[in-house]
Every structure is written in C-alpha cells, then in structure tokens.
Amino acid sequence: MSLRRFLAVSAAGFALGGPLSAAEVSPEQIEAYTEKTIEAFKNTGLAITVVTSNSVIFQDTYGVRDVRKPNVKVNEDTLFPFASVSKAFTTAALAMAVDEGKLDWDDPVRNFIPEFEMSDPYITKEFSVRDLVTHRSGLPAGAGDLLVFPDADPEVSDILAAMKHIPPTTSFRSQYAYDNLLYVVAGEVLSRVEGKPWHEVIETRIFKPLKMKSCKALPSEAAAAKNTITQHLRQPGSWEGEPIDPSYIMGDGVSPAGGLSCSIKDLAKWGQFWLNDAQTPSGERLISEAQVRELWTGVTPQGVSGMLAQLGDTHFSIYGLGWSLRDLHGKLMVGHSGGLLGAVSYFGILPEEDIAVFVTSNDFAIATSFLALQILSDAADPEANSDWIGTAIEFYNSYQASAAKDQGDGEDAPKDVAIDPVRPLADYTGTYVDPWYGPTSIEIREGSLYIDMGRSEALDATLIPVEPDKFVARWPDRNLNADAYVMFSAEDGEVTGMTMEAVSDTTDFSFDFHDLNFTRED
C-alpha cells in the first residue's frame, strides 16, 4: 500500500451551538506524545497545535526548515503546505456561495463550465457540484494525477480537456475513489461564480476575516516566502529526509485540490473557527448553520480499515464535502489527511469534545496522522489506551523495507537481470499517445531503450528488458519510489502500443501509470 493511500484510509453531521464538554488532554501528555513521535520518525521539521473553541491547549514547533540549514529552526510563523487538508477551504468557500444563492450543491457542473465533459454523455449531464467534491465520480483513485505529479504544472484547461478521456472503473456515484483533479474543477466553478481567481476568493472569503495573515493560497507564493519550509523526501529504507527537486512543488493551477500553506498559529485559528460553528472571533458567521450541516453530512461511504476498527472502535467512515466523517470511540470525528511529495499533515476535530488537532511536517513520513489520532483518541476515550504511535512505527518499518526491496535497493532485494530483447530495439521506438496524458517518446540512447514521459522531466529513464516485451524504468530520482514496468503490445509482429504499472505496491497512488493506455503513432 502506498504511504499516502495509507494516510487517507487509516487517519480519517451536524453543527453545534456550543461545546458539549471540554477535552481533558494535558499539555504534558501532548508534549510526551510529540517527542516520542519525533524520536521514532526523525522528522526534519514538525509543527502542532491543539485547540478548544476559546483557547490553545498546546502549540509548538520542532526541527529545521531545511536539512541543509541546521541552524534555521521551524517557528510558529513558518509556512507549511498542508496538501489535501486544503480541500475543506475549497468547500467552505463554495458553501458561502451557496448561502448567497450563487449556486446549489446539486447544480450541474455544466451550468458553470459549459466545456466540462466526462467520458459518458449521461454522466456529463448529471455531474453536479456535489459530485466534484465527494469522490464518487466512478473514476479510479488518483485518476489523472500524472498530469500533476511529480513535476507537471497543468492549466485548468489541460485538466478539463483530459477528463473526458479518462475511463471510469466503476459506475457513477457507486463507490468511493479519491480524486484530486475534480477538486481543481470545483475551484474553477468557484472562480467563475465569484468572477475572480480561486486564490483571491480564498484570501477574501477565509484568510482575511479569520486574520490568517501568514497564509498563502498559491504554492508559488509560499515557496517564495522568507520563512517557509523545504519539502523533504526519503529514499526507501532511509530515515533521513532529502530536499525535493523544486520542480516538485505543486503548480498554482491545481491549488484547490491541495495547495494552501499556513503557519501553525493561523492553523489554530482555522481549528477554532470550526469549533465555534463557523464563526470568526468577533462573532461574524461566515457559513450558515444549514451549510455547516451540509459540509459535515456524509455522502460517499468509505471502508473502515482494520486499524481504525481496532484502535478507534470505528464502525463507519463516510466522506462529506471536503471532510471525512468517522466515529472514534463513539464520538464524531471530522478530519482530513494531506500528503504532497515531501510534506504531510492531518487535521482532526471532535466537536462533542471541543477539541481540534493540526499536525504538519516537512518530511514524507506518517508521523502527523498518527500523532494527531493519538491525541484525539485520548480526548474521545482516555481509558481506551490505544497505541496509535506504536502501531505507526511498526507499519512504517514494514513499509520502508518493502519499498526498498521493490526499488532494488534493499539488502535482500533481487537485482534487475536484463534479458536480450525479443525484437530489435528500433522496433519499439516512436511516439506513443495516451488520450488523457498525451505523448510519450521511446528512443534509443547509448545503445539502450529510453522512455521520455512528455509531461515530466523527472520521469525519463533507461528501460531495462526483464521479460519479453516488458521493461523496467528505474527513475533517476530514487526518492520518488515510483519505478514502473513498461509493457509493449504487438499485432502481426509490429509493436502497436504500451501500458505501464508501478513496480511496488508502496508507490503513491498519484503515480497512476496503470491508467495509461498508449497507442503508437509513428
């Protein structure tokens, strides 16, 4: 299982007029949990805030912004990107537009984006704004994410043009499958409704009234800020974070799906906003009670992992509008995880216990989700004695070993044994086109077959023949953990196409090679 898929599965309605009870979680216990987590996972940097509706229980920062600058520490004003936790900002702004009568959740997307098109005419016609934000499109998990990952920077128009070519894997609205690109479309709906760019909507609708002065709605602005983190990846098997290639920073065009950055001080304000029923500190209501209920009402059922069932006594898991809704020891938990190349976060709320937890790190390890869940679990049931952090350590050790082995880097990893290709290398060369991804080139370089993925500079590599018409691409950046098999198809002795799949089950689902189906054009 990929690390980010594990985060989404294992970490994970109504509005309250006021807290039902105060959470009894001591700062000393939170500090102990945080130190245990950092010692175990060796995070490059980490920030945490734990709040009630009217106070900050705990807030602290740890480590450094960049391993190359060991004297530059993370502080409470340091910007952290928090990935898919951003989705709730997009749906919050949409809810405000619904309150003002500018749209309805069940309005067809084509009312706002006439060029929106899915692969099936019926689905295109019926696809609603609610469908954009609830992961029930029928598309596969992470569909089309290679338009974005690891280093592509598409325009919204590129994503809209690709959507109609991505084939579904289930029927419309029948199953949960996590999606990023449709949140980009949701951001475009918001932009067209409001008559201004999405990032300006977020800044004026949310950042300004909540006085979240540090926050940036565009990844490029956060990356250029003076006090901002560097994202870090780890080679499989390694416990040391390495700075990512700057080209891996998310492009501005896809920010509605996960491109926001804030300091931990401002993330505390976001937590208190929800604990105060979507009101600002001055008492201004930004979202109506009806729309808060709508955001926190489940739409798409999710599976309950064995870990959640065992450690959290969880019986249900269902996705609402930008939020995952679950029971944790009998209490409603509203939350969301987030993962980018080199950064992870988790935001969780127990409305009935009047507590919200936000943990974010500039290191791609699962520490944030499980530290947050440990604190939330104690708040929900102090007698449960669920060891979330210990379980996370056990899983991460296994994950690291599997990833290293699959990349050919572990001590017991089988090494690639090249066979003689079954046909001349020139028979494979040419331009191959996938309907949604576009062209990819197969060439001969220095006597070997070579793949050049058209949208990515990082996904270019020599192809090693391992089976008849099957090659393996070991990408130069070993931190990506995304090596891929390339399989060629032939008719009447002539190569006509190719497909791909990740070598390892630990590869992040956003490297959706398996959704590609290339046809050779020359």
What is the DSSP track for 409-428? -STTPPPP-PPPPSS-GGGT
Sheet holding 45-51, edge to edge: 56-63, 45-51, 355-361, 343-350, 331-340, 324-328, 317-319, 300-301
Q: Tell me, letter by letter, the H, E, C secondary structure of 21-88.
A: CCCCCCHHHHHHHHHHHHHHHCCCEEEEEEECCCCEEEEEEEEECCCCCCCCECCCCCEEECHHHHHH
Write down the pLDDT at residue 406.
85
Mean pLDDT of the chain: 93
- In the chain, the amino acid numbered 159 is I
Q: Determine the Cα–Cα distance for residues 481 and 281; give it in Å rounded to an integer.
A: 44
Q: Is 201 helix (H, G, I), strand (E, B) or coil?
A: helix
Q: Which amino acid is at 36?
A: K
pLDDT-based confidence at residue 413 (cuts at 50, 70, 90): low
The DSSP code sequence of 464-485 is EEEETTEEEE--S-GGG---EE
pLDDT given for residue 165 in this prediction? 97
What is the 8-class DSSP label of residue 241? -
Above 60 in pLDDT, residue 20?
no
- pLDDT at position 12: 38
SS3 label, residue 120? coil
C-alpha closest to that of 261 among 221, 299, 292, 289: 221
pLDDT for res 44: 97
**What confidence category does residue 403 fall into, taking pLDDT thresholds of 50, 70 and 90?**
confident
State the Cα–Cα distance between residues 289 and 380, nearest whole angstrom: 24
Cβ pair 364, 344 in contact under 8 A: yes
When mean pLDDT is compared across 10-24, 102-116, 173-187, the lowest value belongs to 10-24
Domains and CATH numbers, the chain: 3-403 (3.40.710.10), 425-520 (2.40.128.600)
What percent of the chain shows pLDDT beyond 90?
A: 87
